[in-house]
Amino acid sequence: MLGPPGVGKGTQAEMLSQQLHACHLSTGDVFRAAAKHHDCMASPALAQAIELMHQGKLVPDGLVFALVAERTTCLHCSGGFILDGFPRSLQQANDFDALLERLNLQLDAVVSYTLSIEETINRVSGRLTCSKCHTVYHLESKAPATPGICDRCGNALTRRHDDHPEAIRVRLQEYAAITEPLVEHCRQKGNLLNISAASSPAGVLATTLTGLYALAHR
């Protein structure tokens, strides 16, 4: 799943994982997602990624690839998996293609979500995230019952320091520069779905499922 900040990749990936009985692997914190599953707890790649995170260092692509490879052997991923926002560049995509070939797997589809700049800024600037369970809220469309407190676990909600209009515009420009070649690469391979994320989460999910079904039965 591809798309700039605010399009709802994580929400769609989570709903799709339930619909398709597939494992949801989130980029950036893919190791944190892996840690939720007991059969992955002893993963060498996971342990190394967590150690780097604790040191405040970035997790390199090679280690993320290793973790994804390990996750494919987990019971939770036996029915397939959904990558949320990864790979993000053409180089990562080429490396990931090589990984899939080694694992004798194929990428069934790439879903690229689109949203106007104005709507993206509105969504992201009002976004709040639980510091504990990482549930995402929005000040307008999905406000918590108690301001600043997570409905699910009762912990504090936080906002990213760069979730303001000026920084969001910069992130969107950076995303476009890095990801547009990747989108074109996927289009040429014939497994790309371009889907507008402007409607409700349920509406976007329905459109996504329809597109995936059509792609699988073409």
The residues annotated with a catalytic role in the active site are 9, 88, 127, 160, 171
Backbone angles phi, psi at 68, to 5 degrees: -60, -40
Q: What percent helix, strand, coil does the chain show, rounded to 5?
A: 50, 15, 35
Residue type at position 100: L
Contact 171, 162 (CB under 8 A): yes
Backbone angles phi, psi at 170, to 5 degrees: -65, -45
- Cis before residue 87, ω within 30 degrees of 0? yes
How far from 130 is each of 9, 124, 136, 156, 160, CA to CA, in Å? 17, 15, 7, 6, 11
Distances (CA, A) of 179 to 33, 74, 112: 23, 29, 10
Helix or strand holding residue 111 (H, E)? strand 110-114
